[in-house]
A = this chain, B = another copy of it.
């Protein structure tokens, strides 16, 4: 099935905001086995919007419009789409009741007259309830084509899509699409593709798609089948084979789990606490860890030791080490990690020191050189990295590799036991 995405919003055309919704919807469409050939952004202009909708309905089976469903005069998506499709707008009592309740509960007020329009829906439309706002989502079916209208705010659109729109679209397809995510850390995208070349080359069902993230690759395996059971059967051997090829580098197969989630989950599981000792990342590693709700159980404090003096004072790195090997060295990283554990009551310390640039690089220690050390159970492991890119990129990559070293350290210690 061919799908076309239309984003509505003058703020997108002015460059006020990035169109993250288009990325989200494109990925979801790929997951559902749908082909997206065009994404279009258009403003709150009747004529231009109608033109875009007509063109899209001509060349696709399904169009997904996003934005312009609010209560203001500028919000014309529903009206224009209904007009193009020749559907009359009628008041929907369920939507109206939801609106009234929403205003009573959240806004402590009566539904303002200007918002009544939100209760109008194209006759015969499928309604997707909005649990996080006022505008419902809608699916209008006409002449073998489908238009799906979704609210713009991601906080409203994402849950609506996952809970209601996905099953709706799946119901429109013959058979089942099922996909499985495999997230890998520590391999570049081209290396991953090389290692999967035989599988990718021979792929028809399931298909394998790779998504490159900073120092991570996400692999999505997607199967089509008549039943969910059959789809699972098609996925299983391929997923198993991929997991075998990447071994420990696979950090999760859960679509919604991040690398820091996994780290916090492992630390919690083994009842461990961690501290951080950061130089070039200046707090970003700790910042990633405390992204995870409940991180306070495993992470209680961290050190940002940018200067040599701070490394000496807070982490007890020896003056001799700093003088002899320099702040960016295997030895300093090791002493930082060791010092972090001794300065706190944490079980593990992950330490980072490197040259993030743009200045500070030398021929021996160029920009991008980073040492990451992990102290755990009386032993300290250190890894040397050479990252490409600007200051920000070097720091981003360092944080990911540090989280991964922490993950691998915990895993290897507990496998031994």
Interface residues of chain A, those whose CB is within 8 Å of chain B, are 12-20, 22-30, 36-43, 45, 48, 52, 55, 155, 209, 211-212, 276, 278, 280-287, 289-291, 293-296, 299-307, 309-310, 314, 344-345, 356-359, 390-392, 395
Known: A15-B28, A155-B390. 8 other contacts (CB 8 A): A13-B36, A38-B52, A39-B40, A284-B287, A293-B357, A294-B359, A296-B307, A300-B310
Q: Are A283 and B296 in contact (CB under 8 A)?
A: no
Contact A359/B304 with A29-B15, A209-B14, A282-B286 known, Cβ cut-off 8 Å? no
The chain B residue with its CB closest to the CB of A210 is B16
Give CA–CA (A278, B284) in the complex, Å.
12
Q: Which residues of B contact A291 (CB under 8 A)?
A: 391-392
Quote the shortest CB–CB distance from A312 to chain B (angstroms).
11
The chain B residue with its CB closest to the CB of A218 is B16
The chain B residue with its CB closest to the CB of A289 is B282
Contact A304/B307 with A39-B41, A41-B38, A284-B283 known, Cβ cut-off 8 Å? no
Give CA–CA (A306, B346) in the complex, Å.
13
Contact A14/B26 with A282-B287, A301-B306, A358-B293 known, Cβ cut-off 8 Å? yes
The chain B residue with its CB closest to the CB of A26 is B15
The chain B residue with its CB closest to the CB of A393 is B155
A24 touches which of B15, B26, B28 (Cβ 8 Å): B15
Quote the shortest CB–CB distance from A59 to chain B (angstroms).
9
Give CA–CA (A405, B212) in the complex, Å.
38
A25 touches which of B15, B38, B45 (Cβ 8 Å): B15
A18 touches which of B18, B28, B287 (Cβ 8 Å): B18
Q: Are A293 and B392 in contact (CB under 8 A)?
A: no
Contact A38/B48 with A17-B23, A286-B283, A391-B293 known, Cβ cut-off 8 Å? yes
The chain B residue with its CB closest to the CB of A280 is B290
**11 cross-chain CB contacts under 8 A:** A14-B36, A15-B27, A15-B30, A17-B23, A19-B19, A19-B23, A286-B304, A293-B359, A293-B391, A294-B359, A302-B303
Give CA–CA (A294, B296) in the complex, Å.
31
Give CA–CA (A197, B98) in the complex, Å.
34
Q: Are A37 and B43 in contact (CB under 8 A)?
A: yes
Q: Which residues of B contact A278 (CB under 8 A)?
A: 283
Give CA–CA (A18, B22) in the complex, Å.
8
Give CA–CA (A85, B286) in the complex, Å.
53
Quote the shortest CB–CB distance from A64 to chain B (angstroms).
12
